[in-house]
Amino acid sequence: MLQTIKPYSRITSSSQLGGVLKISIVFISFRNIFWHIYKLMKFLKTQDFYKLCLYLSATTPWFEAYRESFLQVMPASDHEFLNHYVACMLVVSSGEPEPVEQFLRLSQEQHRIQHSSEYAYPKWFIPNTLKYYVLLHDVSAGEEQRADSVYEEMKQRYGTQGCYLLKINSRGSNRGADEQIPDPWSQYLQKNSIQNQESYDDGPYTVISNKNADHLISDGLDNDIQDGLSNNFKAHPLQLDHLSDTSSSFDGTDYIKTTSSLHESKKTSSGTPHGACLTLTDHDRIRQFIQEFTFRGLLPHIEKTIRQLNDQLISRKGLSRSLFSATKKWFSGSKVPEKSINELKNTSGLLYPPEAPELQIRKMADLCFLVQHYELAYSCYHTAKKDFLNDQAMLYAAGALEMAAVSAFLQPGAPRPYPAHYMDTAIQTYRDICKNMVLAERCVLLSAEILKSQSKYSDAAALLIRLTSEDSDLRSALLLEQAAHCFINMKSPMVRKFAFHMILAGHRYSKAGQKKHALRCYCQAMQVYKGKGWSLAEDHINFTIGRQSFTLRQLDNAVSAFRHILINDSKQPAAQQGTFLREYLYVYKNVTQLSPDGPLPQLPLPYINNSATRVFFGHDRRPAEGEKQAATHISLDQEYDCESSHQWKELEEQVVAVVNKGIIPSNFQPTQYCLNSYSDNSKFPLAVVEEPVTVEVAFRNPLKIPLLLTDLSLLWKFQPKDFKHLTVARLKLFPHQTGELHILGVVYNLGTIQGTVMIDGIDPSIGLQAGKFVYNGMSVRGRQDLEIQGPRLNNTKEEKTSIKYGPDRRLDPIITEEMPLLEVFFINFPTGLLCGEIRKAYVEFVNVSKCPLTALKVVSKHPEFFTFGGNTGVLTPLSPSASENCSAYKTVVTDSTSVCTALMSSASSVNFGLGTGSQPEVIHVPLPDSVLLPGASIQLPMWLHGPDEEGVHEINFLFYYESIKKHSKIHRVLRHTAVICTSRSLNVRATVCRSNALEDEGKGDNMLVFVDVENINTSEAGVKEFHIVQVSSNSKHWKLQKAVNCFEDKDYKLASRERGKLCFKAVRCKNSGDNKQLILEGQHHIVLHTVGKEAFSFPQKQESPEMVLLKFFRPENTSLPTRPTPEQLSNLIKTSLHYPESFNHSFHQKSLCLVPVTLLLSNCSEADVDVIIDLRHKTTSPEALEIHGSFTWLGQTQYKLQLKSQEVYNLQLKACFVRTGVYNLGTHRVFAKLADQVTLFETSQQNSMPALIIINNI
């Protein structure tokens, strides 16, 4: 019956009480007479309040369910009457043989329970309890006429307002399947299935021992409870994890141990519809029944009781105590009624007998509160409060204060503010005087909700925190959590206080055995602490989350939490880090044991810098063997150099262009042997079959303890393209067939090192040698994926406005067919040369592959440094004495069209890259038949020419070769970088000018060549002197005829810092009929292009421009007059040049042309100015002054003047020219400063406009 009427216990029809109070909503609480507090207390432990949410939830349904259940299980006490029964409903079925007799027996049983001292519970509001008789008639099974006759007899006996006939089950078995009938019981039975199981058997009771009292629990009730649990609930946080754990007992009560019948009950289906035999008419009948009971039975009975209580109070204490009068007098002059001498005292103060007037006032107040007459209820509570306080009945006074505050808050229109101090006093009284934490908690819950409804979250939080204590961890956890939500819901949210109190709540939940709630609190707090730099707090939270998750068997969450501890930059000491790591490894091992055949999970340690991953294709470099040194090529030990990489790319492009007749193929891809974050990884790299692929992974240990990594290997995936072979790639990544290789990650064992055992003299706490360790800790096997993010794209507008990354395919090489592999060795290769020195070395080419190679070429940015020779030929003279009977260098006569193809043992300018050609940097290596067979080798001489500049030089050689077979990988390259240190030798300068000798007049085709040779060596290379052996001409049109200033001794010797001058006469070569040319070679080469312009054997250093010094002045303490700014000083003097724009002069009559020039100086200031005029050119080196294209100023070159205020001064100058042309006279510099300035403060007065003059010859 209770389950049937439960959905209709809320009535929204309007009604009036006593013609004054209008009631719009009535909620009636129906309970079985055997309802017991500790049965609901058990329900509180088994209810599913848990709802995990990692994000902050606006509501806390677990707390709301706790609060609702807590208020329901509040025991009925003697100092308040809100939980006392007001009425009793007696229900008898019409199928009973004697329904009227059954009503009589039930009435007597109720009277015995209420008035007998055997029953402490339930408690009744008044002795004259309303009894309402209900005859329940089953339409489908009973006789309607008999039911009507019984109901008529009931009306005659109990009156029409005291009984009711309820007809149900009007729906027959032949009902339509498509008819939809509402099911209002589902939400109540699903939510409160345990409370609503009120059908008890008449069997015996089982006595359960409790440390406070003995309570009776029905076996039938326990069975129903177990059914409800098995049907509607899963594992939940508020039930104990182990039956033996009593840490979460509710306020000191022991956990109720159910009998064996709890485990033998039959489970029912939760999907069964309710009210299947009820029609819509039956629903209306039940609703009408509840309304009839409420408005015709219950409310009139309450109104009658209120009047009776008021009449009793008036008769006992006089009209002055009338509660309905607007003004009340409080017996200030009357004598306080004497109490009975048998009144009892306890720790809470006075105990009143049931008939005491003060309790009658409290009963009246509670009844007014129940019928929503909050104003009258407040007056009654206020009156009772004063009486209780006068009598020092603190428990009663606290109850009156609590309800007075609630009544004041619920009054419509808010005539008075909420008296929060009433609640504070009540809480303090319950807690400190009465020692009743249950009532204090109820008071806190009510007051907190009221304060939150008024947006007083700070006061609500303080109130909730104040009630936390050590006697109940569950209550403290719930209150701390609500306080945290108050902090976050404030107008200015206090996020850190929210997180801190969530941590405290999680700790108390953990102590109470509520691990799921503890985990939820820590997870919500982690959202605040994460990423704020509070690493120690994050470590504590993650560590707790990991342990709680592991206890709840949420192993993935536990691994993730411990992983965060390890991957963050921890500030924990080494011992704590070791504890974290061992915890992680233990949890990780449990995870892997659940699925031993599953994929390896990710390991957080050590760190892998994915962007620093490098991939190398090919074999390692061979070590040097005596004088035989292998080509440097490229290795993982070399640091990346952007400039060098660009040079290698240009060299490869040049040689590819030469091979392809000047055109670079569209599918050309520069060869990259080592891929890193700086290389172009947008295309799939190419690897060769049977050649290793090496992957370098950068590990970093962020902890202060050593990590032990063993059995490292690569994860890879291979997709073969040639399906005829079933061979697969080995673990060492030596591919045996063509296809696509994908390197996925690294697999290894991660372990800890325990103890401080010395190994080979090495302390493990300091470091371990590779491959030498003592392992006595825990180890797990896992993986880390290599996921490299490509470069940020920033080309198109879409890419610039969004974040997009390009591909990085360095770990996805394409395996191509077998290719030739070249190794180059240099024999007797020098590391030091003199500038211009020529020396012979040898180079060995070896084909170490199984494929022949061809088209071997070498390209360099410095082709003048080397050339290849044949295996036979005349050697270079080793000393000057060896050239006594012959020329120092062999004279070679060849056709002018075949110079570039001649192969000579002696070095020519063409061989050193100084001749003409389309691509002189690309040199063909002379191989026999242009092919180098597999396993074959060949040695060739290499002539080296020392660079003309001293210092350390890096010479890059790029060897290019191809396979005879043509496939996707067209060519391969080998790199070598030679480091040469050159020392100074000779500095040669040459100048050519026309001969003015009488014998050469009129010919115009004879030249004089002046050669200035200086020994600039300082003997640091062990060289004492140089011998000038031979001077030759390499021109096709000019030859050196004779030396003008020849000496008898043809061997010119130059010691250190000595200088010699040579002069030769050069004449034009006559055209010979055999079309032959003569080539002579020396060590130093000077190219003369312009007559009258000096040429050098090596580039001259460029003089840096003049540096303008900045002057900084320390500010003085004394006030000084404002100093003019540089802009003002630059305008002190204005200058202008006056000269003819064109000047005619006969240079045949007079070689020097003198032109008068006037320099006009104007002082634009009001003060005297000191002026300095400097006519010297900016470039003052003798070599620059000898250039014929310049002019010079005659006479004085520097003037110092003083100009008065507004003075104009004319300075007469003379400019001297030696040839015709256009000249700029604005080479003078003018400096000015104020005359009264002590310190020199000059500012240049340069003219911005050029002063051009034209010199003509007449």
pLDDT digits (tens, 9 = 90+) for 424-454: 999 999 999 999 999 999 999 999 999 999 9
Q: How many domains does the chain have?
A: 4
**Same domain membership, residue 1198 and residue 1092:** no
**Same domain membership, residue 864 and residue 810:** no
CA-based nearest residue to 820, from 657, 971, 1016, 615: 971
**Same domain membership, residue 760 and residue 900:** no
DSSP state, residue 4: H
Residue with tokens 């085709």: 1005
Q: Is the CB of residue 718 less than 8 Å from the CB of residue 741?
A: yes
pLDDT one-digit tens code per residue, 415-431: 788 899 999 999 999 99
Strands 130-138 and 87-93: parallel
Residue with tokens 């063993």: 710
Instruction: Give residue 485's pLDDT.
Output: 93
Supply the mean pLDDT for the chain: 74
Please give the average per-residue pLDDT across 1188-1212, as a whole number: 84
**Same domain membership, residue 838 and residue 766:** no
Helix (H, G, I), strand (E, B) or coil at 1239: coil
Helix (H, G, I), strand (E, B) or coil at 955: strand
Asked whether residue 199 is domain-assigned, the answer is: no
φ and ψ of 64, to 5 deg: -65, -40
Asked whether residue 930 is domain-assigned, the answer is: yes
Q: How many CB atoms are located within 10 Å of the residue 914 CB?
A: 16
Q: Distance (Å, rounded) from C-alpha 1111 to C-alpha 603?
A: 61
Q: Is the CB of residue 562 less than 8 Å from the CB of residue 542?
A: yes
Strands 686-688 and 814-816: parallel
Q: Distance (Å, rounded) from C-alpha 626 to C-alpha 965?
A: 36
Helix (H, G, I), strand (E, B) or coil at 742: strand
Q: Is the CB of residue 901 less than 8 Å from the CB of residue 895?
A: no
Lowest mean pLDDT, pick from 332-341, 965-974, 1070-1079: 332-341
Provide the Cα torsion 1050, 1053, 1054, 1060; round to 10°: -20
Lowest mean pLDDT, pick from 35-49, 120-134, 509-523, 833-847: 35-49
Q: What is the DSSP string of 98-159?
A: -HHHHHHHHHHHHHHHHH-TT---S-BSSSS-EEEEEEEEETTTS-HHHHHHHHHHHHHHH-
pLDDT one-digit tens code per residue, 929-943: 889 999 899 988 988
Asked whether residue 947 is domain-assigned, the answer is: yes
Last residue within a domain, chosen from 417, 437, 454: 454
Asked whether residue 1142 is domain-assigned, the answer is: yes
pLDDT one-digit tens code per residue, 301-337: 999 999 988 888 887 654 334 444 433 333 333 444 4
Q: How many CB atoms are located within 10 Å of the residue 724 CB?
A: 6
Strands 853-859 and 1052-1055: unpaired
Q: Is the CB of residue 708 less than 8 Å from the CB of residue 605?
A: no
Lowest mean pLDDT, pick from 482-491, 667-676, 1195-1204: 667-676
**pLDDT surpasses 50 at 730:** no
**pLDDT surpasses 60 at 203:** no
Please indicate whether residue 654 or residue 383 has the higher confidence score (pLDDT).
Answer: 383
Asked whether residue 803 is domain-assigned, the answer is: yes
What confidence category does residue 267 fall into, taking pLDDT thresholds of 50, 70 and 90? Answer: very low
**Same domain membership, residue 1172 and residue 1086:** no
**Same domain membership, residue 836 and residue 802:** no
Number of helices followed by number of strands (H, E) in the chain = 25, 52
Share of the chain above pLDDT 70, in %: 69
Instruction: Give residue 1077's pLDDT.
Output: 43
Asked whether residue 913 is domain-assigned, the answer is: yes
Q: Distance (Å, rounded) from C-alpha 465 to C-alpha 458?
A: 11
Q: Is the CB of residue 1063 less than 8 Å from the CB of residue 960?
A: no
**Same domain membership, residue 1078 and residue 989:** yes
**Same domain membership, residue 829 and residue 808:** no
Q: Please, what sign has the CA dihedral across residues 519, 520, 524, 525?
A: negative
pLDDT one-digit tens code per residue, 29-58: 767 766 554 444 444 444 444 333 335 666
Q: Distance (Å, rounded) from C-alpha 1180 to C-alpha 163?
A: 131
What region, left, alpha or beta, does residue 755 occupy, with left being phi > 0 and alpha being psi -120 to 50 degrees? left
Instruction: Give residue 1243's pLDDT.
Output: 53
**Same domain membership, residue 710 and residue 690:** yes
Question: Burial letters for 400-415: b for 16+ Cβ neighbours within 10 Å, e otherwise?
Answer: bbbbbbbbbbbbeeee
Asked whether residue 326 is domain-assigned, the answer is: no
Q: Which domain holds residue 940?
A: 822-877+888-1096
Instruction: Give residue 555's pLDDT.
Output: 83
Token digits of residue 979: 């480091």
Please give the average per-residue pLDDT across 1011-1027, as a whole number: 76
Q: Is the CB of residue 657 less than 8 Å from the CB of residue 664?
A: yes
Token digits of residue 1028: 């000038």
Residue 69 corresponds to which amino acid? Answer: S
Provide the Cα torsion 665, 671, 672, 678; round to 10°: -40
**Same domain membership, residue 902 and residue 805:** no
CA-based nearest residue to 783, from 947, 600, 551: 600
**pLDDT surpasses 60 at 221:** no
Task: Tell me the HSE value of 116 on the side-chain side, using a 13 A CA sphere.
Answer: 9
Q: What is the DSSP string of 1058-1095?
A: -EEEEEEEEEEPPPPTT-EEEE---S------STT--E
Token digits of residue 1100: 């001259």
Give the domain CATH number at 1022: 2.60.40.10
Instruction: Give residue 473's pLDDT.
Output: 92
Q: Please, what sign has the CA dihedral across residues 235, 241, 244, 249?
A: negative
Last residue within a domain, chosen from 1058, 1079, 1096: 1096
Asked whether residue 489 is domain-assigned, the answer is: no
Q: How many CB atoms are located within 10 Å of the residue 559 CB?
A: 22
Instruction: Give residue 1100's pLDDT.
Output: 58
**Same domain membership, residue 720 and residue 827:** no
Token digits of residue 522: 């820590």
pLDDT one-digit tens code per residue, 589-625: 887 777 777 777 788 888 888 888 888 887 776 776 7
Q: How many CB atoms are located within 10 Å of the residue 905 CB?
A: 16
**Same domain membership, residue 908 and residue 774:** no
Task: Tell me the HSE value of 778 on the side-chain side, using a 13 A CA sphere.
Answer: 14
Last residue within a domain, chosen from 816, 840, 858: 816
Q: Please return the burial class of 364, using the count of CB atoms within 10 Å of its CB with bins 0-12, 13-18 and 19+.
A: buried
Whether the model clears a pTM of 0.85, i.e. scores above it, the answer is no
**pLDDT surpasses 80 at 750:** yes
**pLDDT surpasses 90 at 404:** yes
